[in-house]
Structure 1
Amino acid sequence: MGVKSKAAAAILVLLLFLGSLWLHGSLDYHWDACLKGYNPVNDLHQLSNSSASDESGVPHDLDVCPGQTFQVSLLHTHLLASPAFTSDVLLQPYLSSWDELVKFMDSLGPMVGLISKEIVTKTSLIRELALLAEASPEAEMNPDVNSAKPESEVNTLDPSYHSGAYHSVRSMIWVELKRDLVDFHHQTDSGCRTLLRLHRALLWLKLFLEKLAEIPVAGRLRSPSELCREAYKSTLANHHTWFVRRAAELAFIALPERNFFFRLVCVQNQEELSTVLGRVTQAIGVVYDRTQKALEENGMLELP
């Protein structure tokens, strides 16, 4: 078989398998549903003047990138809005963070864009489940969701206090367990199983961005393709079949060079890129750690 034939066969393999198998199964849901109660900033120019801060209270304002579909400042804002109380994660800003991460992946080319399509099916499913739960007469809230914070410190005027079944990671887990929607032995379309797949993908992206932000003491800057492949091998690859792993690694070969990422987040050099991505990965880390703890406490880290 010639070189062109091999390349064509490889692309066909990616089209047929990578997108559909990336997060263990394709889900056919529409993208027009959304969770209520979270209103992200519509005017991106306001973000550069926002006072968003991380858990330490230190402001981490990022500039708007003119002309870019993906906005690192908007991603950062959604991530900072996700933590709730001391151990929970609000699903509305969490899913909005994924909306922006999908734009990030789409910007990396058609091969990586196949992966983002599967992410969209996952976020869409959770949004659909939230709407169904809201319409259900049995909709109820876990009475212990807000107990992580002392009652004296809970602000009942805060919209996050009055919430629905899929308002947060912990409320979703509680409701789905109570209604026997989570199967620990067979694949289902539960929100918890779907969240686990997103959670694993978030670790991959977090590690990739951390590696991309590294400033080597000596030696060359490694290519984004090499860094993405390395991040994948230590995260998502552990949950994929041999065939999907090969297809994924082939997709990463087509990743843009480092200068593309400078333009994507509107920086001039590696030092500036390191600063921006450092803030983003710190915010991702808070969301990831809280989600990890919630899933682990309920024995959901290995849902089929």
Structure 2
Amino acid sequence: MAGSSEQQKFSFQEILDTFKLCLTESKEVDLQHYLDGWRGLVKFLNRLGSVFGFISKDASNKIQILVGHLNGENGSQYVTIQSMVNFELEKELVDLTKKVGQHPESGCRTLLRLHRALRWLELFLERLRTSTEDGKTSVMCAEAYNESLAQHHAWVIRKAAGVAFCVLPGRLAFFEAMNVGPPEQVVAMLGEALPLISEVYQITEKLYAHHNLLELA
């Protein structure tokens, strides 16, 4: 669990604070805060070693693509996830015909990958929060994965993930990596954080469903 000074300073509380900022008064999702939240989640995953590398590396790549859109000439269209979806659909930047290779780095397609991974993390962290057993994290993680990301991954990735989950540390080690305090404090923090993450997920899910974007290739 030890790492660089940057890792030592990390606290899961930062992620909670960031996701609090994600939603605007009109319940739109601020893309910059969303990406900041994901940067925190990547830090958390990296603190657990290489086990989640296949997810954290992909997430980091997707974050960089979306930062490129935010800082690009049309950056003002990417302030919220809602404005991004409207802009890319209007400009026909999203390939709805599942022809892989056409606009592979559209904001909508890129964010969908983070969106799916967020669901996995939400499900897994909820199991960690409510469980009373220390040694069942591999089962909790596998169940959460099978309910979310697995259906979007190729067989080879699913197989590798299953092997990786078998060597996960216990529940208390995850709590230690969050760097929040004693277990009861971590449980309380997760109780506050997960409904916020869930709300951000559900708003994004409804938006993508409304525009038939949930199965983008």
Structure 1 stretches of 4+ with a deviation exceeding 6 A read none
Task: Give the deviation of 1:170 after TM superposition.
Answer: 0.6
- 8 A contact 2:42–2:56 mirrored in 1: yes
For the pair shown, the structure with the greater C-alpha radius of gyration is 1
- 8 A contact 2:13–2:189 mirrored in 1: no
- Structure with more relative contact order (C-alpha pairs < 8 Å, separation 6 or more): 2
1:192 aligns with 2:108: yes
Q: How does 1:60-209 map to 2 (within 5 A)?
A: 68-134=8-74, 164-185=76-97, 186-187=99-100, 188-209=104-125
Cα distance 1:238–1:174, how it changes in 2: closer, same or farther (>3 A)?
same
Q: Following the alignment from structure 2 to structure 1, what is the Cα–Cα distance between the partners of residues 67 and 137? A: 32
1:300 partner amino acid? L
Cα distance 1:194–1:67, how it changes in 2: closer, same or farther (>3 A)?
closer
- 8 A contact 1:107–1:113 mirrored in 2: no
- 8 A contact 1:82–1:91 mirrored in 2: yes
2:208 partner amino acid? L
2:49 partner amino acid? G
The count of residues paired between Structure 1 and Structure 2 equals 207
User: The residue matched to 1:89 in structure 2 has which SS?
Assistant: coil
Residue equivalent to 1:262: 175
1:223 partner amino acid? K
% identical equivalent positions: 38
Q: Could you say which structure has the higher helix fraction?
A: 2
Residue equivalent to 1:228: 141
Q: Following the alignment from structure 1 to structure 2, what is the Cα–Cα distance between the partners of residues 86 and 104? A: 30
Q: Following the alignment from structure 1 to structure 2, what is the Cα–Cα distance between the partners of residues 202 and 67? A: 21
RMSD across aligned positions (CA) = 1.8
- 8 A contact 1:165–1:171 mirrored in 2: yes
TM-score (norm 2): 0.89
User: The residue matched to 1:85 in structure 2 has which SS?
Assistant: coil
User: The residue matched to 2:73 in structure 1 has which SS?
Assistant: helix
Structure 1 residues without counterparts, runs of 5 or longer: 1-65, 136-163
Q: Following the alignment from structure 1 to structure 2, what is the Cα–Cα distance between the partners of residues 299 and 122? A: 21
Q: How does 1:44-55 map to 2 (within 5 A)?
A: none
Task: Indicate the larger mover: 107-116 or 70-79.
Answer: 107-116
Q: Following the alignment from structure 2 to structure 1, what is the Cα–Cα distance between the partners of residues 180 and 72? A: 40
- 8 A contact 2:29–2:82 mirrored in 1: yes
